[in-house]
Amino acid sequence: MTAPAGGSTRTAVWIVVPIAVVLSLLILLLATREPATERAINFELRGEIAPLIEGEGLDGVWFDIDDHSNQWVVVNFFSTTCVPCVREHPELVEFEARHAPLNDVVVVSVAFDDAAANIRAFFDDFGGDWPVISRDTGSIAVAYGVVAVPETYLVGPGGVIVEKLVGGVTADQLDGLILSAGGA
């Protein structure tokens, strides 16, 4: 014996309607919530002691951010394949050159998922003579809340984070932040 046609229709309705309601609510929830990238970009370390950055640089010299507590430190997270990183790099070179005679600022780059050979070639091509941490950088990126590159942190003397900059930076922008924070 087969069930009457009306019974299978009712069963289908009892299955389809709840699924449609749940899917509609899920779509509504996803459409009205704040995007994850905006929440992550608001990850705020400003006013906090900078997380530890230490490691062997590309030049073989050990870098420890705590050794620079009497200077401004510009921490730049980058990748050699990132177009905005390539665009901002000459600005970092200019900024570092402005401050080299004063010895008041240290720039350190933290490579984001990149090979040491690519990083060496990048610095050979585009300049820059500062520490570059390239190994085991994932934990550093997590500690700083890095979402995507480029991201730059300005750490004041004493080790407190003054500013987080998302996207490319300029030498004038960095100098302005130092000046507005009471630096030279």
CB contact at 8 A, 128 and 59: no
Whether residue 39 lies inside any domain: the answer is no
CB contact at 8 A, 108 and 75: yes
Q: Judge if 111 and 136 occupy the same domain.
A: yes
Q: Judge if 29 and 95 occupy the same domain.
A: no
Q: Judge if 28 and 118 occupy the same domain.
A: no
Pairing relationship of beta strands 161-166 and 132-133 according to DSSP bridges? unpaired
pLDDT computed for residue 7 by the predictor: 65
**DSSP of 119-178:** HHHHHHHH---S-EE-SS-HHHHHHHT--SS-EEEEE-TTSBEEEEEES---HHHHHHHH
Q: What is the CATH number of the domain that holds 133?
A: 3.40.30.10
pLDDT computed for residue 44 by the predictor: 77
Distance separating alpha carbons of residues 72 and 156, to the nearest angstrom: 5
pLDDT computed for residue 16 by the predictor: 74
pTM: 0.75
Distance separating alpha carbons of residues 100 and 79, to the nearest angstrom: 24
Whether residue 38 lies inside any domain: the answer is no
Q: Judge if 96 and 23 occupy the same domain.
A: no
pLDDT computed for residue 42 by the predictor: 39
pLDDT tens, 45-62? 888 999 999 999 998 999
pLDDT computed for residue 183 by the predictor: 72
Distance separating alpha carbons of residues 4 and 180, to the nearest angstrom: 80
pLDDT tens, 3-38? 555 567 777 778 877 676 666 665 665 566 544 433
Domain around 29: 5-33
Helix (H) / strand (E) element for 111: namely strand 105-111
pLDDT tens, 66-121? 999 999 999 999 999 999 999 999 999 999 999 999 999 999 999 988 999 999 99
**Mean pLDDT over each residue of the chain, to the nearest integer:** 86
CB contact at 8 A, 126 and 86: yes
